[in-house]
Amino acid sequence: MILFNKPALTGKEEQYIKEALQSGHLSGDGHFTHRCHIWFEEHFDAKKALLTTSCTHALEMAAILADIQEGDEVIMPSYTFVSTANPFVIRGAKIIFVDIRPDTMNINEALIEDAITPKTKAIVPVHYAGVSCEMDTIMELANRYNLIVIEDAAQGVMSTYKNKYLGTIGHLGCYSFHETKNYNCGEGGALIINDDKFIERAEIIREKGTNRSRFFRGQVDKYSWVDIGSSYLPSELNAAFLSAQLENADIINSYRLDCWNTYYKGLKHLEEVGHIQLPTVPENVVHNAHMFYIKTADLEQRTRLISFLKSKGVHTVFHYIPLHSSSAGNEFGEMSGEDKYTTLESERLLRLPLYFNLPLEEIKVVIEEIGRFYIAES
């Protein structure tokens, strides 16, 4: 069986967890959490990084920081995971879905302006497959209409847009370290804060609405309840695990890119004869090989290909059911303009196995089997 995903392990995870156990400090914001924060701040030139329990929770913090209120509108693609939308719905916002571009599956930046109303508070670009959205256009719109940009960079850790790391371009950025992502600790995330004015409140929200972070730094002599908040900080065990992954981020990244390039080269001939489409990476964008997908002719062909590959022991996966066509999406949001590509393209997309240390021979098997499928189809 060729598995779709295996969480990365780089070797130091157990040792760091042992060190955390020996330190006697297992709750959040100890030595390893600090190490992770410094890593993002140094490597990505991020103003402030805060580990969270998930990307979903980082987005919840972002929704509170953006002061989302009942009746506000938040713009995002419909082609995304539910966690892009839920944190804003919880705060009472209405979600305005915008169609995607078929080439990158990212929000179509040219359609965003039409979706802006006096109620719009934020734009949430999702960097699908770790390939950046057109951030210059999005930031220009946000400045012109005074909107907050929250990057859902769950899939985009280590990717760049015009030499800037994803997550550090908008006012706020959110990362995921779920086991399905490039760098993981089982469940985890981070909030990246790129605008100074959010830093102090972010620390408070993350610590149950208390000013405990300031207390630990000796800036106040007791801590108390000062704002709304929740428990958004992960334990040191998770941070220790993540620390090992971040130290080896370049190794993980380059291995994943080798996988991605092997697929791309091996499947190019099937694109050239018009059987499938391969992903597009725009100029100015460096991606992190978060996933490799192909697009089939249509939904029926995808269904046939999935079962063909399954019969050959190859596990493939598709997603997402567009949010605007789900029951909750219908209740909490609406599509702005036409759904020209979201549904159509989501039905054609198929993700192939890709994980750190997936043997390249197995990728060659997947490529061969896809080739055999299309010989049988035509």
Ligand X SMILES: *Cc1c(COP(=O)(O)O)cnc(C)c1O
Tell me if 155 contacts ligand X by CB under 6 A: yes
Tell me if 183 contacts ligand X by CB under 6 A: no
**At its nearest, how many Å lie between ligand X and the CB of residue 209?**
21
Peptide bond into 320 cis (omega under 30): yes
**At its nearest, how many Å lie between ligand X and the CB of residue 163?**
23
Q: Are 195 and 171 in contact (CB under 8 A)?
A: yes
Nearer to ligand X, 55 or 252 (CB): 55
Residues 9-68 that bind ligand X (CB under 6 A): 54-56
Query: How would DSSP label each residue in 37-85?
Result: HHHHHHHS--SEEEEES-HHHHHHHHHHHTT--TT-EEEEESSS-GGGT
Tell me if 84 contacts ligand X by CB under 6 A: yes
Tell me if 159 contacts ligand X by CB under 6 A: no
CA-nearest of 188, 232, 163 to 36 is: 188
Tell me if 83 contacts ligand X by CB under 6 A: yes
**At its nearest, how many Å lie between ligand X and the CB of residue 106?**
11
Stretch touching ligand X by CB under 6 A, among 139-147, 150-158, 278-286, 358-366: 150-158
# residues contacting ligand X (CB under 6 A): 14
Residue from 170, 189, 234, 333 in contact with ligand X (CB under 6 A): 189
CB contact set of 74 (below 8 Å; sequence gap of 6+): 68, 88, 93, 94, 95, 96, 120, 121, 122, 123, 124
**At its nearest, how many Å lie between ligand X and the CB of residue 254?**
22
Tell me if 86 contacts ligand X by CB under 6 A: no
Distance, first Cα to last Cα, the chain: 27
**Residue 36 to residue 40: CA distance in whole angstroms:** 7
**At its nearest, how many Å lie between ligand X and the CB of residue 210?**
24
**Residue 70 to residue 54: CA distance in whole angstroms:** 24
Residues 91-110 that bind ligand X (CB under 6 A): none
Residue from 33, 78, 80, 243 in contact with ligand X (CB under 6 A): 80
In this structure, the number of other CB atoms found within 10 A of the CB of residue 86 comes to: 18
**Residue 314 to residue 365: CA distance in whole angstroms:** 9
- Kindly report the length of the chain: 378
Tell me if 152 contacts ligand X by CB under 6 A: yes
Tell me if 182 contacts ligand X by CB under 6 A: no
* Site track 212-251 with ligand X (rule: CB under 6 A), x = hit: ----------------------------------------
Catalytic member of 94, 181, 208, 312: 181
Q: Is 18 a catalytic residue?
A: no
**At its nearest, how many Å lie between ligand X and the CB of residue 361?**
28
Q: Are 16 and 226 in contact (CB under 8 A)?
A: no
Stretch touching ligand X by CB under 6 A, among 20-28, 66-74, 77-85, 96-104: 77-85
Tell me if 154 contacts ligand X by CB under 6 A: yes
Residues 318-347 that bind ligand X (CB under 6 A): none
Return the percent helix, strand and coil in the chain, to nearest 5.
45, 15, 40
Q: Are 144 and 116 in contact (CB under 8 A)?
A: no
**At its nearest, how many Å lie between ligand X and the CB of residue 268?**
27
CA-nearest of 119, 71, 111 to 91 is: 71
Q: Which residue has the tokens 């981020």?
A: 249
The catalytic site residues sit at 181
Which residues contact ligand X (rule: CB under 6 A)?
A: 54-56, 80-81, 83-84, 126, 152, 154-155, 176, 178, 189
